[in-house]
Amino acid sequence: MELVNKIEVVPMKSEYCKVEHHTIVIDRTPLDILLNNYYPSNNLLGLIPTIIDWVYDPKEKECIQGRFNSASKEVILPVLMCPDDCDLWCTVIVANVVKADGYIIWKQVGLI
């Protein structure tokens, strides 16, 4: 399997959060910026990762952590959320994640 893109989590600021936080980057470009460049009318700039500890609702936090820590080979994983509400009720970007041969593959990315 050939590595096509490098997905990392790095500390940086985002459009609406002026303190550094974990940011998902693909080939050194923040995911919210990449998505906003492809879909500018969807207002995706400034979305923040669900991996930071800003989700307020304990059940949503448990759901997100359960999906990140899932032993399943394929899972729908919420990866970005709205920084205003920090929950899964507003704008959420999900990835269909597949674990195979030591790789993490984002098969599809979508808006819910």
pLDDT at 44: 95
pLDDT tens series, the chain, 112 aa? 566 788 899 999 999 888 999 999 999 999 999 999 999 999 999 999 998 788 989 999 999 999 999 999 999 999 999 998 888 898 999 999 999 988 889 999 999 8
Q: What does the alpha-carbon distance between residue 95 and residue 7 come to, in Å, rounded to a whole number?
A: 13
What pTM was estimated for this model as a whole? 0.89
Of 55, 109, 59, give the one whose Cα is nearest residue 81. 55
Of 106, 101, 42, 98, give the one whose Cα is nearest residue 79. 106
Eight-class DSSP state of 82: -
pLDDT at 1: 56
Cβ-Cβ contacts under 8 Å for 94 (sequence gap 6 or more): 76, 77, 78, 79, 109, 110, 111, 112
